[in-house]
Amino acid sequence: MCWVFGWLGQAWDGVPERRAAGGGRRGRIMAGSGVRCAPLLLAATLLAACGGGDAPAGYDPTMPPETPPALTMTSESGTWVVSAWLYPERARKGANEVVFGIVDGAGAPADGLVVRTQPWMPAHGHGTSTVPTVSPQGAGLYWAMPVNLYMAGRWELRTTITGAVEDHVVLVVDVP
């Protein structure tokens, strides 16, 4: 179906185009272009399915983070200490992933919580239209994705933690 890519098919085929009875651009049929364009269509399909290389490096939920957290803060009431790992390693424009590590005051991992986070850009007074999904991973880890930081500048990850009590923490992220 490379006739969809008309000019690409013509460049690859090296065969003059044949025009249908109407002679217009819509009647263009490329000689042998279906076979020659199969690799292009396969590559385009695979890139679309895999994100085309624009996807973040990604957190492996089967492995705990091995690097020190990018951010660590105590929640507003002091109930939780929240650490955050960013994937890729530093925030960037576009889709990011964040792993929250939550421990109680004694340092024990906090499981069974409901964690919600909303990216917010205070300088412009707006958030994002995409609400990240936060999934518990065990051992006090919660994986949020996609965290869409679509502009350069300072962002806040306004995070609500609900367990025996509801608490809040705001983590600040700078996007270059």
Residue 153 resides in a domain: yes
How far, in Å, CA of 91 to CA of 173, rounded? 7
Domain shared by 28 and 77, yes or no: no
Structural domain harbouring 42: 2-50
What is the residue-level pLDDT of the chain in tens, covering all 176 positions? Answer: 343 333 334 433 444 444 444 444 444 434 444 445 444 334 444 434 444 334 345 667 666 688 899 999 999 999 999 999 999 888 999 999 999 999 999 999 999 999 999 999 999 999 999 999 999 999 999 999 999 999 999 999 999 999 999 999 999 999 99
Domain shared by 85 and 117, yes or no: yes
Residue 30 resides in a domain: yes
Domain shared by 42 and 82, yes or no: no
**Helices (H) then strands (E): counts for the chain:** 3, 11
The answer to whether 175 touches 152, Cβ cutoff 8 Å, is yes
Domain shared by 79 and 147, yes or no: yes
Domain shared by 42 and 100, yes or no: no
Residue 168 sits in a domain of what CATH number?
Answer: 2.60.40.10
How far, in Å, CA of 117 to CA of 172, rounded? 12
Q: Which residue has the tokens 């999904």?
A: 133
Count of structural domains within the chain: 2
Residue 55 resides in a domain: no
Question: What is the structure's pLDDT at 69?
Answer: 93
SS3 40: helix
Domain shared by 33 and 82, yes or no: no
Domain shared by 80 and 111, yes or no: yes
Could you tell me the CA-to-CA distances from 79 to 69, 141, 149, 151 in Å, in that order? 19, 16, 28, 32
